[in-house]
Structure 1
Amino acid sequence: MGFYYKKLLPLLLVSLLVLTSFFSMEPDHAQAAQSETASDETNEYIIKLTSSVRARAVSYLHSEDPSLSVIESNRQHILVKLPADPDPDLLYDLAADPAVEYIEPNLRMRKASNWTEDPRFEEQWGLRAIQAPEAWKEGGSNVQVTVAVLDTGVDYTHPDLINRVDTHNGYNYIDDNFETMDDDGHGTHVAGIIAAELNSIGIAGVSGNANVKILPLKVLDDQGNGTMYDVSFAIMDAVDKGADVINLSLSGERGREEPKMLQEAIAYALEHDVIVVAAAGNDGDRVERYVPASIPGVIAVSAVDEELELAKFSNYGSGIALAAPGEEILSTYLHGRYVYASGTSQAAPFVAGTVALMKAAKPQLTVQDIEDRLQRTAIDLGRKGPDEKFGYGLVNAYGALQEEKVSNAEMRRISVDPVRLSLRPGSTALLQATAIYQDQTKRDVTKKAIWQVEDDSVAAIEQGVVKGLAFGKTNITASFGGKRYTVPVEVSVRSLTFSDRRITVKPDEAVQLSITATYGDRTREEVPPEDVRWISLDEQVATVHNGIVSAQNVGSTWVVAYYGSERISIEVLVKMDALVANPDQLQLVPDSQIPVTLYAYYKEKKDVVTAEADWQTSNPEVAVIEDGVITAIGPGIATITAEYRGKSATIRVDNSVRKLDVPDDKITLRPGDTYTPELVATYRNGARVEVNDKGTWHSSDEHVAVVDEQGEITAIKEGTVSITASYGGRSARIRVYVQESGNP
């Protein structure tokens, strides 16, 4: 039992595109248009059950969560739709049930297509390229061959298809009924390439006069949208309805996990000796990233133009089996019309039609027989031998119908191509084994050879298809007819790259890092952060976990990422441009207060960090600060300093007295009289404040007059005395004359 919901949740939306491009635009524009459609989500899941517990499991789904919608159940599968805000544990709980074999997301299929109509009906260059007219002359049996077209339906009223479509056994998986009329046009175009009649009107299909029927299985709606669930069941139903060939002119990005239900459906077809042909894809990318073309056993078809060069839009890679015409292909369309279209959607039916011709001529041919014959008779294109653009070459209908004799000469050796292999974990590549005989004839024995892996923890192989499992090196040996050939295989990373060489963050900020790996097979992908080992060289400055860098303090450090046998470092600067206090200068008077604000500046942003800073005063007798409020204590000058993240800012507090004075600097008293002058301090900010109780008072001769702490002067006896008041570094003096009564 397997469950990979957590890993696949980000991949719910793998948009499967019907592989036809009809726009007169540059390929990059076409790709951009497709990528915009790849973000719709089905929010549906396929649950495969063990065969004996289906009813119980359906009941369990309803009771576990009433909001979980069971869309339908079929055979051992149930299609469910999650609520908008699902319980994250729901699918895990279901997966733990022994009734469940696996759970996987229902991938979406989508068509992004347009049509250009050409009333001139130019000649069909594709038929000539694959030598279809010559093949028709070969004749054959009158055995009916059925080609299942899984698409948008087929216009069964079209004059060139009216006698070719098996409407009795067709099915509409979109509307769950038997109406298979095409409401888009794509499926009709594909069907015409395969089986348009030789009836002196319109066009001719690859199958010519052979007794070929099209089984229409509508899995895409009028917008070209569908799901892997419907496609998988349509494949199995096509087998059960007697199809000899299945044409899949659709594809989609596979994600990190294998689409199990689609694999099972294709395996079901192959087990029943039904050929499956699929379009390689229109993304100009490696076919290994797309399904169903990259699933073992499928004949993946790339597209060529009239010059027999690989079409700019066509996918390529080790999974390509054959090439076929795919640019400006004229075929049937809705309402009796004909249009030109381009894409690997058009290339695939050239191969499906050729297979139909072969089955009509020799019904006893097995899947292996057909694949061998197609490979041996293909017209070699590009570099000599199989390659990543054209596979074995351009499909050759005429050659495939010829009676091919396998050489009876003694086998001299076997060879394997490529002679060494480098790939990434999870990716697949094809090793092709060729038997070379004494008479220089060659035979593909890839599927007949015995394959052995020296270290099965690094890679696995089945019928020549190698899958990377884990980083490391191993050897794979092919054995056939007593001969052996060993290929070194490496699952490796060539290099790692960060998007930036250096990042600058502010304290307490968190930034997600990502790295891109270039693997041994030269493919590139962003590596999931949890698959990488991360280290910070100075965790006082910044820490890192699963690629998330958390800044701690101002400074610099390096974050190192390890993946495979490679490592890469990025410099992390935790930086603050400035620490600024506002205001940074104050003129106060004692006992007054004023709030201040401390700002940390980061490029164009600023944060208030008043509460987070450490504050100190140079003279607590002049000014102190608490909770961002400065309180003036006494006269003088003090510096308030803020420390934050290695930066400092200062505030100058000036409470100094500029002048100290009294109203009268000379007075005359009689013994026993008292007098209290008003002592006024003028501060730096211009404020005038009475400071009698704050000043220090002194009498030059206390026998004549004394003065208390509040500045009250008391005359004692006749004489002259100086009373001095001091405050804030300033002083004021009063001359006191004490005279007896009656003296002048």
Structure 2
Amino acid sequence: MTFGLATEDLAQLLAQNYRLIEERTLTSLANTTIQRLAVPQGQTLADARIFVRSLPSGGSADFNHFYRTNEELGAELITQPASTPCKGPHCANRALVGWSDDLFQLGTCSGDVTIGMIDTGLNEMHETFANVDLTVHRLTSEDTPPSRAYHGTAVAALLVGAPDSRSPGLLPKTRMVAVDAFHRAGSDERADVFTLVDGLSYLADQNVNVFNLSFAGPPNTVLEQAVVELVQTHNKILVASAGNAGPQSDPLYPAAYEPVIAVTAIDRRNSIYRRAVQGAHIDIAAPGVEIWTAASVKGARWRTGTSFAAPYVSAAAALLLSQSSALTPPEVRRILTDGATDLGAEGRDDVYGHGVVSFDRLCE
């Protein structure tokens, strides 16, 4: 796939039997287009990438990689009575980050900030989204089997779930825009770069301030270019889960891109999640083991994975922006990491980053 390929370069490819599968316009990303191409018969993908990158406008061309959510299924559905912050199964993890009733009661602490997420589909009819300002936009083709709703519902509920539901969110009064960029292929559930970049542009079009990205995959030059532009040109805050491939894994993306805030997961004993990716790119930790959040149909259940740590940091970033909308992405990162509670080796380390995100004094 290509990002911003010039008309004359595309014409040259078509003349050499490349085929244009799909093209989309990205109004918020360099006001350009992305193209998905099929290579000529007999040419390998690797050779095709080399050739397209040799064109004057093809330098960022790359494969249309797949990305997947970062979750380990937890316990079975547990029925709980409606809870209020903070009396319920969600409270233990909130205590780790200094979340308090005061933060919830200060309705102005979420200001006019809009949180966006790219994830699987979600169940908009779930009781946790009653009276929540939630917009859902599906990007994948109607011909593609839709993604299931359990992951996206759980992530969204952590952020904006209704306060009187079984899965209250951290910032229930905040506007959320959710993009469903995933589809099913057999037993696999995944999103490709072409759709992810389209989703990032869509969220920017919707004036989203903080992007929650609870998925991971390989490095990709097209995705990197989109991420860098969003942060450096449009001042968007991108928060991504580190991934669940294990401590010996290579870095996963988009978390490992420099402008992105990379989030790892801890349990209630402040121990690192056993499957969390580690490395020099890790910025901060948050609760991600046995997290109480919405189930896909109704009620709530426990979830585990770095996917569920990222929303804590996204919520903290939104609180900072609500207090000072002029903060830049590097400033938000610095405030969050400077205020983190140190764990592991003294100072920043490759396991916990700068430590556990803290909500203390973020909403004053």
Shorter-chain TM-score range = 0.7 to 0.9
Counterpart contact for 1:207–1:354, Cα < 8 Å: no
Measured against aligned partners, the alpha-carbon deviations of 1:663-722 in whole angstroms (never above 9, x if no partner) come to xxxxxxxxxxxxxxxxxxxxxxxxxxxxxxxxxxxxxxxxxxxxxxxxxxxxxxxxxxxx
1:248, distance to aligned residue in structure 2 (A): 0.8
Structure 1 or 2: larger strand share? 1
What secondary structure sits across from 2:313 in the alignment? helix
What letter matches 1:328 in structure 2?
E
1:394, distance to aligned residue in structure 2 (A): 0.7
Report the equivalent of 2:126: 158
Give distance in 2, aligned partners of 1:49 and 1:367: 25
1:136 and 2:110 matched: no
Report the equivalent of 1:342: 304
What secondary structure sits across from 2:35 in the alignment? strand
Give distance in 1, aligned partners of 2:50 and 2:326: 47
Give distance in 1, aligned partners of 2:302 and 2:48: 49
What secondary structure sits across from 1:331 in the alignment? strand
Percent of pairs with identical residues:
22
What letter matches 1:387 in structure 2?
D
Report the equivalent of 2:61: 103
What letter matches 1:76 in structure 2?
T
What secondary structure sits across from 2:238 in the alignment? strand
5+ residue gaps, structure 1: 1-45, 403-744
1:202 and 2:166 matched: yes
Report the equivalent of 1:378: 340
1:184–1:114: structure 2 CA closer, same or farther, 3 Å change rule? farther
What secondary structure sits across from 1:350 in the alignment? helix
1:149, distance to aligned residue in structure 2 (A): 1.1
TM-score, length-scaled by structure 1: 0.43
1:245–1:90: structure 2 CA closer, same or farther, 3 Å change rule? closer
1:267, distance to aligned residue in structure 2 (A): 1.2
What secondary structure sits across from 1:354 in the alignment? helix
Counterpart contact for 1:280–1:301, Cα < 8 Å: yes
Report the equivalent of 2:291: 329
What letter matches 2:43 in structure 1?
P
Q: Larger Rg: 1 or 2?
A: 1
Report the equivalent of 1:60: 12
What letter matches 2:221 in structure 1?
K
Measured against aligned partners, the alpha-carbon deviations of 1:132-155 in whole angstroms (never above 9, x if no partner) come to 224335553563321111000222
Report the equivalent of 1:24: none
Give distance in 1, aligned partners of 2:170 and 2:48: 50
Q: Which has the higher contact order (CA 8 A, sep 6+)?
A: 2
Give distance in 1, aligned partners of 2:228 and 2:191: 21
1:60–1:315: structure 2 CA closer, same or farther, 3 Å change rule? same
TM-score, length-scaled by structure 2: 0.84
1:315–1:94: structure 2 CA closer, same or farther, 3 Å change rule? closer
Between 286-295 and 301-310, the greater mean CA deviation after superposition = 286-295
Give distance in 2, aligned partners of 1:386 and 1:398: 20
Counterpart contact for 1:140–1:362, Cα < 8 Å: no
Give distance in 2, aligned partners of 1:342 and 1:373: 27
Structure 1 counterpart of 2:222, from 252, 257, 261? 261
1:399–1:314: structure 2 CA closer, same or farther, 3 Å change rule? farther
Give distance in 2, aligned partners of 1:90 and 1:355: 40
1:110, distance to aligned residue in structure 2 (A): 3.0
Report the equivalent of 1:80: 37
1:240, distance to aligned residue in structure 2 (A): 2.2
Give distance in 2, aligned partners of 1:95 and 1:360: 42
1:92, distance to aligned residue in structure 2 (A): 4.9
Give distance in 2, aligned partners of 1:387 and 1:245: 25
Report the equivalent of 1:729: none
1:363–1:188: structure 2 CA closer, same or farther, 3 Å change rule? same
Measured against aligned partners, the alpha-carbon deviations of 1:496-543 in whole angstroms (never above 9, x if no partner) come to xxxxxxxxxxxxxxxxxxxxxxxxxxxxxxxxxxxxxxxxxxxxxxxx
What secondary structure sits across from 1:224 in the alignment? strand
What letter matches 2:94 in structure 1?
L
Report the equivalent of 1:123: 89
What letter matches 2:167 in structure 1?
I
The number of residues matched between the two structures is 341
Structure 2 counterpart of 1:228, from 193, 210, 217? 193
Structure 2 counterpart of 1:70, from 7, 10, 21? 21
1:83–1:157: structure 2 CA closer, same or farther, 3 Å change rule? farther
1:324, distance to aligned residue in structure 2 (A): 0.4
Structure 1 or 2: larger helix share? 2
Counterpart contact for 1:233–1:265, Cα < 8 Å: no
1:308–1:95: structure 2 CA closer, same or farther, 3 Å change rule? closer
5+ residue gaps, structure 2: 26-31, 81-87
Counterpart contact for 1:246–1:274, Cα < 8 Å: yes
